[in-house]
Amino acid sequence: MITVPALPFDLSFDPKTVALIVIDMQRDFIEPGGFGETLGNDVSLLAPAVEATKGLLALFRAHGWPVIHTREAHRPDLSDCPEAKRTRGAPHLRIGDEGPMGRVLIRGEPGCQIVAACAPVEGEFVVDKPGKGAFYATELTSILADLGTRTLVFAGVTTEVCVQTTMREANDRGFECLLIEDATESYFPAFKAATLDMIRAQGAIVGWTAPLAALSAAVSRETAA
């Protein structure tokens, strides 16, 4: 077992049943000209999550533990994008519109791709999801059942939207969830802080949080033993 000094208390997991899920580290959210910016956000606020996510990916790859990437990605005909989502807010580009990185949040378009530093490698799962939660209308449930996953380690963007939604879905399905604090960011720093608090409140009501360094050190201690 690996025991991570986390909040609100230590989390122990069996490395045979752990998986990493990296939520929506896409150009559309992280780079200028994409969906995040068209919603009026300062996308540079998400940049710090890239380095820690890269480190987390390296840790999982070094141990051969499963990695799942998600993308918020709609079909080109928008048949999986309800009007309630497409017409939300007053962006200058809506989902499906042609922008500087191709059609916004559409499968296969340049903006929809995961940023190069966190790109999937051979053997990793990539799940395209039409919603905020990664379990809704995707194959994630069966992927995790096949892997025998019990503990999910989370990274990605944005903390209070797709990351938190997916953590709550995972918690309802019986997974233990650990969010890596420096591998997630929000366009609203106060929302990130509040989300971390909400997740671990009431005795880990949704899950645990810890910095990457705490997980890495715990893994090194156990694998050296």
For ligand TIU, which stretch binds (CB under 6 A), given 49-57, 142-150, 158-166, 176-184?
158-166
Question: In the complex with ligand TIU, which residue's Cβ is closer, 164 or 209?
Answer: 164
**Burial label, 107 (beta-carbon count in 10 A; 0-12, 13-18, 19+):** middle
Q: Which one of the listed residues 54, 129, 132, 192 is annotated catalytic?
A: 129
For residue 118, is it left (φ>0), alpha (ψ between -120 and 50) or beta?
alpha
For ligand TIU, which stretch binds (CB under 6 A), given 86-94, 154-162, 174-182, 215-223?
154-162
> Omega of the bond prior to 158 within 30 degrees of 0, cis?
yes
60 forms part of the interface with ligand TIU (CB under 6 A): no
Q: Is 97 an active-site residue? A: no
For ligand TIU, which stretch binds (CB under 6 A), given 51-59, 112-120, 157-165, 169-177?
157-165
Shortest distance (Å) from residue 220 CB to ligand TIU: 31
Shortest distance (Å) from residue 13 CB to ligand TIU: 25
Q: Is 54 an active-site residue? A: no
x/- map, 175-214, ligand TIU, by CB under 6 A: ------------x---------------------------
Question: Pick from 18, 38, 65, 72: which binds ligand TIU (CB under 6 A)?
Answer: 72
The C-alpha atoms of residue 61 and residue 84 are separated, in whole angstroms, by: 38
Question: Pick from 49, 118, 144, 161: which binds ligand TIU (CB under 6 A)?
Answer: 161
Listed residue (88, 117, 121) closest to 105, CA to CA:
88
Q: Is 118 an active-site residue? A: no
Q: Distance from first CA to last CA of the chain, Å, rounded?
A: 11
Shortest distance (Å) from residue 129 CB to ligand TIU: 9
Q: Which one of the listed residues 81, 118, 162, 177 is annotated catalytic?
A: 162
Q: What positions carry a catalytic annotation?
A: 24, 129, 162
Can you give the binding site for ligand TIU, defined by CB under 6 A?
24, 29, 39, 72, 157-158, 161-162, 187
